[in-house]
Amino acid sequence: MMITFKSRAASDVLFFENAAKEFLRCIGKDVAAATGIITVEQLPAAIDSVRKAIATDKTEARPAGGKAGDEGTDEDAADAADEHVSFSQRAQPMLELLERSRAEGVPVVWGV
């Protein structure tokens, strides 16, 4: 299922359900809610939370090719890296949406 985040300040951002829940958890929203709103007053805290999560995600060490002790080729490691989309990559469009919404003073809503 796809979850759409909307604001009058920018284009819609679509996430698969699992990625949307990860993002909502990051900003302290109810992940079980089918719809919701990030109010103008909540935007600064949400932006700070996303920035911190992005910074944490970028500093965490990620295994390049499987579990420790696995014997894999460099090609296997490259394939695994290509298939993984990090939180920081996924959150970038959402961070932009939040920042534009704050600048224009409009909320962000989400739903299916």
What are the domain boundaries of the chain?
Answer: 2-57+83-111
The more confidently predicted of residues 79 and 25 is 25
Residue-averaged pLDDT of the chain: 86
Asked if the model's pLDDT at residue 68 lies above 50, the reply is no
Average pLDDT over residues 72-89: 66
Average pLDDT over residues 78-107: 86
Beta partners for residue 4, in sequence order:
14, 111
Burial class (CB in 10 A: 0-12, 13-18, 19+), 112: exposed
